[in-house]
Structure 1
């Protein structure tokens, strides 16, 4: 799947937590944010998440 750069702003304290988490989880900030968005959609917008999986060929 192609990646697209996305720009957004975080509160400073959330960015600090993300910076710390990347070392503990051994993942990039981008990977952590992608995982979090997927999990959010899965729980809060399951129809949209299902559509994403279908487009990705995972269903």
Structure 2
């Protein structure tokens, strides 16, 4: 199991894009999808309320 953060793909009016809304433990293989409008990334340092900025 690895730690993944769930973040907003687009701003929702109160939270900007990249805003981390949750952290989950997931094996990265089993059937699971983040809610609509959210993305996931394996990360052990970001916490809820932080901003995730994808590498370009």
Q: TM-score, normalised by structure 1?
A: 0.20
Q: Which has the higher helix share?
A: 1
Q: TM-score, normalised by structure 2?
A: 0.20
More RCO (CA 8 Å, sep 6+): 2
Q: Which has the higher strand share?
A: 2
Q: Compare CA radii of gyration and give the structure with the larger one.
A: 1
